[in-house]
A and B are shown apart, each in its own frame.
Chain A
């Protein structure tokens, strides 16, 4: 049994009338990578900012170890063990990469040789040591992201909060970042990783919290989440031409076991209960309406399906 590092209990936060968090609770165990998955506006950043104390929650409790994060004194104490990689790139333009890390690292109380060594380690970790003398202005988007991460790592936090660290990054840097998170975790860092990319969360996280509109919609491991929706399957069909007669959609929808039909141009996506063998019936219906198709496939169940199942919406857009 690993110990609970962080306990978030029924936290609410509103911006005016907009309830960004409607009573979020979660528990984080030492050594986990917790994935916060949700579309834009789900409240991921608001939750992370409540944890690191940037925002004061309207109600609810936050505890890290024994420290009450709603108390200013204890919050400051907790922050020494907490690293934050903000969603927005927060680097001082006039300082070199090295100086940025020195600056932030020093604010966690590191000094002298210890600070220098830690900065070197952090910059090596994100593979920017050779470019340490450059200012962020000379960096690519992916390098800025990596430096942004390094700044949050200098003081070797026990708990690392990463808010969408791969947004706007080239695939190469993205893989590098994912790999780094895994490595940090192997070395013992507990991580909260927020993202709206289900592939990242699937690949990285042992413990997944799916959020929407300020609430948890599902929580568990990847396999337990998939198991929850495993009674449905998604059939994706590429049509030769857009649908002429929308009656076909209604007819497919009325096939027993079909729970959802979505059509977008030549893309048709049907969710159906597993085991009904609706595959053939759908093809038959399309034939009836002279609707040719170029490909058809039975999609692997993903977190996307979990999200769709729980909220009736797609994760992206």
Chain B
């Protein structure tokens, strides 16, 4: 009977054109739109020259090496950096729209105490502009490199940027090939969004089997509620998994997105993501209990979660909030697989996903029992 329910659940969902459009076609279109519109962020070579500034509060030694790195080099091709004598001058230049942002190199980089932290500041009037985003990527990348050299020289890391923002791309840039381009990046995040949309499918199927006219009809047949729910969870997982695979294949073959070499690991992660997403939807249902609102709630919640986890902008916006969205772990794990960020991060990501799955399962069982009692 479980197989029977799965069969008809899948058939009816595959015929639900409206859902297919919002769960599959929409993410695919977004890959195209975001991938080309925001390609500037990812492919600096195409960006028109960005006007930036630098204020040196320290001279000589590390400060100058840092200055050279920030103003020259491959990543910095597109930035024209002008040196300002004082902080005030640089601020005025921003106000007058002469520059987009400037770096401020602090005093005492060379003669700092061991373990003393020194901050390199990025000043900008508009933190969300593409230009200052590029400025931040460049800064973070350089600071990482410096900290690494520093660590090799047995010093503690000492430089950090004024405002640390969690760039998915900045932490791991090692060579140009290993960095996601816009299409590659959005293929991953939109595929993840498609998976997370699966929670809405699961919520709908939960409602259809537990409440409402059709739910009532299913409830009075010979199948037990547990078997019915299990069948609905499995059908949703299959549907959501297919959804993820479709976005994966379309982005790979139609958009030529990079999905790395390790397809089996990517597919396994897509499967875990589907499972996580379905359980997320069901868990919300058993917690909230009021089925009418859940579908609508999720359709709003999912794009918002995608947004704050950095799925649209490449920048996780919500800090800790981002980390608790189901998108975040999934997105970062897949990026780690595709762009070869090392097995530690891949394993860590997969373990986190499995942990989330277990927590959601526990929530579903505990609250589900309580609801039935």
Query: What's the nearest-Cβ distance from chain A to residue B35, in Å?
Result: 32
Is the pair B220, A79 in contact by a Cβ cutoff of 8 Å? yes
Specify which chain A residues have a CB less than 8 angstroms from the CB of B218 in the assembled complex: 104, 107
Tell me, in angstroms, the Cα distance from A260 to B60 when the chains sit together. 111
Question: A108 — which chain B residues lie within 8 A by C-beta?
Answer: 221-222
Tell me the bound Cα distance from A93 to B15 in angstroms. Answer: 10
Pairwise interchain contact A99-B8, C-beta atoms closer than 8 A: yes
Q: Are A95 and B214 in contact (CB under 8 A)?
A: no
Query: Which interface class (under 10, 10 to 19, 20 to 34, 35 or more) fits A?
Result: 20 to 34
Q: Is the CB of A104 within 8 A of B221?
A: yes
Given A88-B213, A94-B16: A79 touches B222 (CB 8 Å cut-off):
yes
Report the separation of the CA atoms of residues A89 and B12 in the bound assembly, to the nearest whole angstrom: 17
Which of chain B's residues 212-233 have a Cβ closer than 8 Å to chain A? 213-214, 216-224
The B interface is mostly helix, strand or loop, or mixed, namely helix
Beta-carbon contacts of B184-226 to A below 8 Å, as 1s and 0s? 0000000000000000000000000000011011111111100
User: Knowing A79-B222, A106-B1, A107-B5 touch, does A86 contact B216 (C-beta < 8 A)?
Assistant: yes
Are B220 and A84 interface neighbours, CB within 8 A? Answer: yes
Known A-B contacts A99-B8, A106-B1, A107-B4; A90 and B214 likewise in contact (beta carbons under 8 Å): yes
Contact bitstring B9-44, A, C-beta under 8 A = 1, else 0: 001110110000000000000000000000000000
Proximity string of chain A (79-109) to chain B, C-beta cutoff 8 Å, 1 when within and 0 when not: 1101010101111111100010011101111
Q: Which residues of A contact B220 (CB under 8 A)?
A: 52-54, 79, 82, 84
**Whole-angstrom distance between the alpha carbons of A84 and B1 in the complex?**
19
Identify which of residues 9-48 in chain A touch chain B, using a CB-to-CB cut-off of 8 Å: none
A151 within 8 A of B: yes
Residues from chain B with Cβ under 8 Å of A76 in the complex: 222, 224
What separation, in Å, do the CA atoms of A222 and B93 have in the docked complex?
97
- Distance (Å) between the CB of A60 and the closest chain B CB? 19
* Chain B residue nearest to A80 in the complex (CB): B222
Q: Are B1 and A102 in contact (CB under 8 A)?
A: no
Chain A: CB-nearest residue to B8: A103
Q: What's the minimum C-beta distance from B228 to chain A, rounded to whole angstroms?
A: 8
Contact A91 B222 (CB under 8 A): no
Closest chain B residue to A95 by CB distance? B12
Q: Is the CB of B224 within 8 A of A94?
A: no
**Contact between B214 and A91, CB atoms less than 8 A apart:** yes
- A54 and B219: CB pair below 8 A? yes
Listed in ascending order, the chain A residues whose CB lies under 8 Å from chain B are 49, 52-54, 72, 76, 79-80, 82, 84, 86, 88-95, 99, 102-104, 106-109, 151
11 sampled A-B residue pairs with Cβ under 8 A? A54-B219, A76-B224, A79-B220, A86-B213, A88-B213, A90-B214, A102-B8, A107-B1, A107-B4, A107-B223, A151-B217
Closest 10 CB pairs of A and B: A107-B221, A94-B12, A90-B213, A90-B217, A106-B4, A94-B15, A88-B213, A103-B8, A52-B220, A84-B220
